[in-house]
Amino acid sequence: MPDVKHFDPDAVLEQVERLFWRRGAATTGIAEVVAATGLSRSSLYATYGGKQDLYVKALRRYVERRSEPMFRTLTDDGRGLPAIAAFFDALIEARCTGEYARWGCMAANAHAEPADPQVRDLLDRHHGMLRAALRAALETAGDRLRPGLDLDATAESLTLLAYGVNVRSRAGADATALRRGVTAALDALRFTAP
Amino acid sequence: MPDVKHFDPDAVLEQVERLFWRRGAATTGIAEVVAATGLSRSSLYATYGGKQDLYVKALRRYVERRSEPMFRTLTDDGRGLPAIAAFFDALIEARCTGEYARWGCMAANAHAEPADPQVRDLLDRHHGMLRAALRAALETAGDRLRPGLDLDATAESLTLLAYGVNVRSRAGADATALRRGVTAALDALRFTAP
DNA sequence: GCTATCTTGGAATGTTCATTCCAAGATAGC
DNA sequence: GCTATCTTGGAATGAACATTCCAAGATAGC
């Protein structure tokens, strides 16, 4: 008997995600969301709740549908260091060119705004999954790594490096400089025959 | 003949800097600035201009009076890798404990908000000076480094690492985990006798 | 096609915001 | 101590904001 929604909630959430990703949570008004989605305020509030709920849902979508697939690809790659290099290459490419150039990483960006507990959980999850993926890739690199390398600590250091790339790319950092930085970090991990 | 200001503009600017640093530009209202400084709106606007001017001045103060002294210390240290290790130790200590715990780096935080040109310049300057300081410290490390290391690229990679530390510390990252990550990155640069 | 029920558009609400304004106050030279 | 000039406190202004509300519209089962 009831009426049904006249739009696809996930497709709209993707538009909202992109808006918050590009412009930030605090500086984006509901009026902009209405303009970007074409939805009315009624539909927005009935479907997603208030602005903070909407932001959390958009950030969750970002982590689950954008970050985690990349992390899974890295985890499952199996090539070791080349997998990590490919991950960073793709990251820098996405951050510096094309549609999302200078948007940074929505999760990294979220660190700057005062942290709602739900947001904090998502950020810790983002960090934890990236770290785990890098750790898995390092394990498969095996004896191509410097002997005696602390894999957990190295995974953490590469995770921090990725956050650095994400942050600086939003300010328009040069892709070549970022790539050189990443290459230097990865080269330092490599085993070099005496 | 004229009246003179009833407050110290730089001391007040420091209070404002701390407010914007902790809470972010977009989420901080002029009312909060008034409350934190005890100044009236009149004095605020007459002395610093509008909110955006005030924010830029506060960010500039942060870069010049907080970041750059640290960078200079690093540049002038002369010990090489131990200087870099000390720099990161002090950074993590400041970011994770005491008065400024979980505030992150005001410059790193500023990356998340839509970038005013003046802000962008300050962020590039922040990045450039940190990179130059690390580069200088790497040079003095000399033959304690892996042979064939690209110093520019390595300086960039350590700069990105520092931004990663800054970002994650704002989400309450564990100081020990950060220290281990940094140690792993620095250990990978070290020359190890065959 | 009728109806109960949910959705939608857009106006309405009330709060919070940055900024402006002015009367009262303070200062330094005379 | 008088005055020209700047500063200050706090009210005033108007825009922007998130949220609510309701009449009109759309739907699916009968």
Domains belonging to chain B, first-starting first, are: 9-187 (1.10.357.10)
pLDDT of residue B118: 97
Q: What is the distance in angstroms between the Cα of B132 and the nearest Cα belonging to chain A? A: 14
pLDDT surpassing 90 at residue B80: yes
Cβ–Cβ under 8 Å, residues A136 and A75: yes
> Which ipTM did the prediction report?
0.96
Residue B194 token pair = 């065959």
Partner A contacted by B84 (CB < 8 A): no
Separation in Å: C27 C1' and B66 CA: 35
pLDDT digit string (tens) for B129-147?
Answer: 999 999 999 999 988 999 9
Instruction: Label residue B62 left, alpha or beta by phi (over 0 means left) and psi (-120 to 50 means alpha).
Output: alpha
Residues of A in contact with B115 (CB under 8 A): 170-171
Q: Percentage of chain B with pLDDT > 90?
A: 94
Half-sphere exposure (CA, 13 Å, Cβ side) for A20? 26
Mean pLDDT of B42-51: 97
pLDDT surpassing 80 at residue B64: yes
Rg of chain A over all Cα atoms, to the nearest angstrom: 19
Q: How far apart are CA B140 and CA A175, in angstroms?
A: 28
Cβ-in-10-Å burial (0-12, 13-18, 19+) of A1 comes to exposed
Residues of A in contact with B184 (CB under 8 A): 149-150, 153-154, 156-157
Mean pLDDT of A161-189: 98
Residue with tokens 């949570």: A25
Q: How far apart are CA B167 and CA A164, in angstroms?
A: 8
Q: How far apart are CA B8 and CA A44, in angstroms?
A: 48
Closest CA to B187 of A189, A145, A163: A189
Beta carbons of B157 and A124 less than 8 Å apart: no
Mean pLDDT of A125-146: 96
Beta carbons of B164 and A168 less than 8 Å apart: no
pLDDT of residue A161: 99
Grade residue A103 by pLDDT with cuts at 50, 70 and 90.
Answer: very high
pLDDT digit string (tens) for A182-193?
Answer: 999 999 999 986
DSSP lists the bridge partners of residue B145 as: B190
Q: Percentage of chain A with pLDDT > 90?
A: 94
pLDDT of residue A148: 92
DSSP lists the bridge partners of residue B19 as: none
Pick the residue from chain B with its C-alpha nearest to A110. B112
Spell out the residues 6+ positions from residue B144 whose beta carbon is closer than 8 angstroms to its own: B80, B81, B190, B191
Instruction: Label residue B58 left, alpha or beta by phi (over 0 means left) and psi (-120 to 50 means alpha).
Output: alpha
Cβ–Cβ under 8 Å, residues B193 and B134: no
N-term to C-term CA, chain A: 77
Cβ–Cβ under 8 Å, residues B92 and B178: yes
Q: How far apart are CA B137 and CA A25, in angstroms?
A: 38
Q: What is the distance in angstroms between the Cα of B149 and the nearest Cα belonging to chain A? A: 8
The dihedral formed by the CA atoms of A96, A90, B106 and B56, expressed in degrees to the nearest 10: 10
Grade residue B192 by pLDDT with cuts at 50, 70 and 90.
Answer: confident
Pick the residue from chain B with its C-alpha nearest to A29. B26
Q: Where are the alpha helices (DSSP H) in chain A?
A: 9-23, 30-37, 41-48, 51-62, 68-77, 81-96, 106-110, 117-141, 151-170, 175-187
Separation in Å: C24 C1' and B165 CA: 51
Q: How far apart are CA A89 and CA A81, in angstroms?
A: 12
Cβ–Cβ under 8 Å, residues B182 and B88: yes
